[in-house]
Amino acid sequence: MHHDNKSPKDSRYDVLFEPVPIGPVTAPNRFYQVPHCTGMGYRYPRTEARLRGMKAEGGWGVVSTQETEIHATSDLTPANEGRLWDERDIPALKLMTEAVHEHGSLAAIQLVHNGMHTANRFSREVPMAPSAAIVDQNDPVQAREMSLADIKLFKQWHIDAALRAKRAGFDIIYVYAGHDMTLLQHFLLQRHNHRSDQYGGSLTNRLRLFQEVIADTRDAVGDSCAVAVRLAVDELMGDEGLEHDGEARDIIEALAEEPDLWDVNLSNWSNDSQSSRFSEEGYQEQYTAFVKTVTTKPVVGVGRYTSPDSMVRVVNKGILDFIGAARPSIADPFLPKKIEEGRTDDIRECIGCNICITGDNTNVPMRCTQNPSVGEEWRRGWHPEHIESLKKPEQYLVIGGGPAGLEAARALSQRGADVVLAEAGSQWGGRVSLESSLPGLGAWSRVRDWRLHQLQQRPNAQLYLHSELSAEDVLSYEIPNVVLATGSSWRRDGVGRANRRPLSFLNNGNVVTPDDLMRDGVSCIQNNGPVVVFDDDRFYLASVLVELIANAGIEVVYVSPSPIVAAWSEHTLEQDRIQKRLIELGVKLVLSHNISNMDDDSLTVKCVYAGSETKIPMGTLALVTARLPNDSLWQELSAVESQWQAAGIKTIERIGDCFAPGLIATAVQSGFALAQNVGLESVPIVRREDYSSL
């Protein structure tokens, strides 16, 4: 990668590169990739190991696994987590520790027993809990109350797993009580622990098992491995749960010096990994800042830190010893190296969209909007920083300056191609610029800004706005390779998931699309009466547009065939926050209803279950359904394919939304993949780990 803008290392950041002892081991710096899921785990161990090794290569001093099941009574199938049930799991985990150690970083493992958080769908073992309870998952399964014999067994399982982890090469071994998904946290919590023996009742009793497991782990592996404790210090539930100024503080004070490291965060996962739509950088500090005042042991915490200045602040103020990160380490595995080398402008900052989290929640390898190489490090051999120079660089014309076009131009220019990037409009970014101007999505502009900054450093990239091109123009330029990244447009005919054919009753005078609202704001709403937003897209955009309209003081009704608001946002851990926000804004929710007719001043909606119809007042209908590719230039060029050769054109390819509308992450990966595959006779087959060995 070019380091044209490399500057001397900034001495302000020296504190971030100090080694920090953690019990018997020493971290080379203060950058700590805390445990996070990848959607890979035990099922895709090579993919997992390469992803973690990449972070060590990028300078993260500690690199952790995701939660790693210690026993068949804690089976999270179908989720692809870590697994350490027995000796047979050691080789897969050893791949990870070796990949991390290769770059001088420490490898950490988060051991877990999930208790009543899991239904044990694969092992079919009966789940266990402090007290009899129905499991967290929606399965019709109940957990049994653990006997004293069960508790003794569990403690042995944890010791055995810690010893296996040590043999696998881990330097730091976790005792995990966080996210309301661990047996050890369930014992701490009064709402889950109703016991009347020595493990229930008073805080001293509820703390007993946690304290014993920390001591057991230290006795078993503490001679050469550090023992870390991960604890939720607030559940944002008031006195129903742990509070940072209540029992959580009491727990840490009671155990202050027992582990070698405190890893502190919020519970549950949706509180811990809040999207940028609902939180700012450093949002956990008010809850975690007290921990260092009650222990002499090093403390790691998170807060979606991407700014080196913020990192220095939390260390110098004595809030944290380590800068913990999950999402920022995914968006830029080389964030520490870039700070160390004085290249802070090159940091690919996390946008907090939580697309990475959808991998774990849909049981597939994760992806990232900012970093298209995530999940492809082993499968495709992609690297977030390095890309092979072209043996015979050719010129490329990239048409469209949205996420796909910007990434294609950036990666092609990095490979040494001469690139002309032409955008018809007056600003770069395409849909990223439109969407990032909406309520809560400002951080998304980083997708545009990082790529523009990279392109502006490259003498082999020429960028032109106000450049709408026809097929005739493209032929006249005689540039051998043409990439079409012309985006997509939202449909106004009602076609989506619930309605697969255009709706004949739509009156176009009353209909607006997301494109109208993003381009013109609420000024595109011309009619009196409520705005009905029909969400058949079922992800984030409709709810954001509802906010935009409601914030302007206009009455809004939200209609969706789904039984909940923004259903797919469950995978980004935002659904409950989105629905709550719409309720607080006074938005009327009409769920499980499709649209079936409209007049000038009303809309008829139909229950998707019973078929009963209801008329609701409406001035304007905002349709958020599906998109169509903006592929007219592709159609024009296809019609004159016989002239390509005479014009010196070798290839014309579509990428991003003009090929098939999808996520911004999909568009970015599409641009990156195009650049990666240049010069290859055929696109390489993706490597797989799921072949049978039979």
d(CA 31, CA 9): 17
CATH number of the domain where residue 497 is located:
3.50.50.60
Position 366 in a domain = no
pLDDT grade, residue 2 (50/70/90)? very low
Q: SS3 for 303?
A: coil
| 78 cis-preceded (ω within 30 degrees of 0) | yes
Which of 13, 32, 36, 37 is an active site residue?
Answer: 37
* pLDDT tens figures, 555-569: 999 999 999 999 999
Give the phi and the psi of residue 33 in degrees, each rounded to 5: -80, 105
Cβ-proximal residues to 197 (8 Å cutoff; 6+ apart), any chain: 148, 205
Per-residue exposure over 252-279, b if at least 16 CB sit within 10 Å of its own CB, e if not: beebeebbbbbbbbbbbbbbbbbbbbbb
Specify the residue for token string 């502190």.
264
Q: What is the DSSP letter of 85?
A: S
The answer to whether residues 260 and 328 belong to one domain is yes
CA neighbor of 480 nearest in space, from 681, 633, 648:
648
For residue 413, being part of any structural domain is answered with yes
Categorize the per-residue pLDDT at 693 as very low, low, confident or very high, splitting at 50, 70 and 90: low
Selected catalytic residue, list 176, 287, 540, 558: 176
**Residue, of 690 and 518, whose pLDDT is higher:** 518
Percent of the chain with pLDDT over 70: 98
Average pLDDT for residues 427-453, to the nearest whole number?
Answer: 98
Q: What does the pLDDT read at residue 386?
A: 97
Tell how far CA 333 is from the center of its chain: 14
C-alpha 537, offset from chain centre: 20
Residues 643 and 323: their CA atoms lie apart, in Å, by: 57
- Confirm whether 371 is domain-assigned: no
75 occurs within a structural domain: yes
Give, as one character, the DSSP assignment of residue 585: T
Token pair recorded at residue 465: 């706005």
Mean of the pLDDT values across residues 191-212? 98
Catalytic residue, candidates 117, 158, 179, 186: 179
- pTM for the full predicted model: 0.96
Question: Would residue 357 count as lying in a domain?
Answer: yes
CA–CA dist 186, 655 (Å, integer):
48
Q: Which of 274, 277, 306 is nearest to 287 (CA)?
A: 274
Residue 404 CA to residue 668 CA, distance in Å, equals: 5
Q: Sorting pLDDT into bands at 50, 70 and 90, what band is 8?
A: low
Question: Which one of 89, 272, 535, 657 is the catalytic residue?
Answer: 272
Is 616 found in the same domain as 655? no
Lay out the sheet containing 651-654: strands in order across. 461-464, 418-422, 395-399, 481-484, 651-654
pLDDT tens-digit readout, 232-258: 999 999 999 999 999 999 999 999 999
Q: For residue range 280-332, what is the model confidence (pLDDT) as tens digits?
A: 999 999 999 999 999 999 999 999 999 999 999 999 999 999 999 999 999 99
Whether 177 and 125 share a structural domain: yes
Residue 316's pLDDT is what? 98
**Half-sphere exposure of residue 576: CA atoms within 13 angstroms, side-chain side:** 6
**To the nearest whole percent, how much of the chain has pLDDT over 90?**
96
Domain for residue 382, yes or no? no
Specify whether 637 is located in the same domain as 622: no
Q: Does residue 535 have an active-site annotation?
A: no
pLDDT interval class at 164 (50, 70, 90): very high
Active site residue 179: yes
Joined together, the tokens standing for residue 358 give: 């959808």
Q: Where are the beta strands (DSSP E) in 536-659?
A: 556-560, 588-591, 593-598, 602-607, 613-617, 620-624, 627-629, 651-654
Domain match, 82 and 71 both: yes
Residue 178 lies in a domain: yes
Please tell me the total number of residues recorded for the chain in this structure.
694
How far apart, in whole angstroms, are the C-alpha atoms of residue 535 and residue 594?
9
Structurally, how many domains does the chain consist of? 3
The reply to whether 281 and 330 lie within a common domain is: yes
Q: 151: closest CA among 204, 210, 221?
A: 210
Burial degree of 500 (CB within 10 A; 0-12, 13-18, 19+): exposed
Query: 399 and 438 in one domain?
Result: yes
Q: Which residues contact 347 (CB under 8 A, 6 or more apart)?
A: 306, 308, 332, 335, 338, 339
CATH number of the domain to which 456 belongs = 3.40.50.720
176 is catalytic: yes
Last-in-domain residue among 568, 599, 628: 628
Is it true that the peptide bond before 268 is cis, omega within 30 degrees of 0? yes
Q: Are residues 123 and 234 in the same domain?
A: yes
Query: Catalytic annotation on 42?
Result: no
Does one domain contain both 519 and 431?
Answer: no
Q: Is 1 within the bounds of a domain?
A: no
CATH of the domain at 317: 3.20.20.70
Is the domain of 213 the same as that of 319?
yes
Query: Residue 497's domain spans which residues?
Result: 490-628
Last residue of a domain, one of 311, 344, 361: 361
- Per-residue pLDDT band for 261 (boundaries 50, 70, 90) equals very high
Domain co-membership, 80 together with 162? yes
Residues 463 and 531 occupy one common structural domain:
no
